[in-house]
Amino acid sequence: MKEKKPEFRGQNMNPELFPSDWNWIYDPTVPTNRDNDRPYQQYKTYVTLIDYFLVSPNVQVKKIKGINQNFRFSDHQAVWMEVELTR
């Protein structure tokens, strides 16, 4: 999506809130949120990626995948993660 939304301003978490061995996990290939001021139109509606998991050191991420459903059911798309507890 090439359209820019000057009124939309994503906020980053302060990295000092969590220990350095915690990680933010996400699928960078699938947008997870869309503008909802009108019906969704692929390649026209503004989309962004705002859904993440914060993972502690005792969690090993095996897979992470955004579920692209072209926003049929919501203004968010699901994100699926497979993990293994390590400690």
Domain hosting 77: range is 25-85
Query: Between the CA of residue 23 and those of 7, 54, 65, 77, 86, what are the distances in Å?
Result: 29, 6, 16, 21, 15
The answer to whether position 11 is within a domain reads no
Strand pairing class (53-55; 59-66): unpaired
Question: Cα angle at 51 between 70 and 67, to 5 degrees?
Answer: 35
Q: What is the pLDDT of residue 9?
A: 65
| Number of domains composing the chain | 1
The answer to whether position 72 is within a domain reads yes
Q: What is the pTM of this model?
A: 0.79
Q: Which residues contact 74 (CB under 8 A, 6 or more apart)?
A: none
**pLDDT digit of tens for each residue in the chain (87 aa)?**
455 565 666 677 887 899 999 999 999 999 999 999 899 999 999 999 999 999 999 999 999 999 999 999 999 999 999 999 997
The answer to whether position 18 is within a domain reads no
Are 45 and 38 in contact by the 8 Å Cβ rule? The answer is: yes
